Amino acid sequence: MNICWKLGKSSARDIYEETLRERKRGYQTVKTMLDRLVVKGYLAREKFGPIWLYEPAVPRAKALSREIDTFVGTVLDNTVAPFFIYLAGKERLTDEEIAALKKIIAEHGDGE
């Protein structure tokens, strides 16, 4: 999806070639992945002559939100505290990140 957001409307071949910068994989593997993303609603596909063009069907922020909701629901049993605890312990948070977390806590709790 990152490649699709970066390139915009692109052929499977263009997307495949861009994936080779990350690691070697087969063209058919990439094509299958693109088709699955179409079925899931993340990509739109249109025929242009003999080729298919793919483009993001959802903005990056919406897709990220959807995936985080799925993760929190299935892995964390709809509890976000373990996620925040993990992130806070994993790396140094910036002052902006700390302020954003405090704001979330104040808006959804008693702020203490």
Q: List the chain domain ranges.
A: 2-56, 60-108
Give the pLDDT confidence of 22-60 residue by residue, as tens digits: 899 999 999 999 999 999 999 999 999 999 999 999 999
**pLDDT confidence bin for 110, thresholds 50/70/90:** low
Give the pLDDT confidence of 50-96 residue by residue, as tens digits: 999 999 999 999 989 988 889 889 988 888 888 777 877 777 778 88
| Tokens representing residue 92 in the block | 């140094």
Best CATH choice for the domain 2-56 from the list 3.40.605.10, 1.10.10.10, 3.10.28.10, 3.30.950.10 = 1.10.10.10
Q: Which residue has the tokens 């990220």?
A: 64
pTM passes above 0.75: no
| Tokens representing residue 47 in the block | 């025929």
H-run or E-run covering 39: helix 27-39
| Tokens representing residue 94 in the block | 């910036």
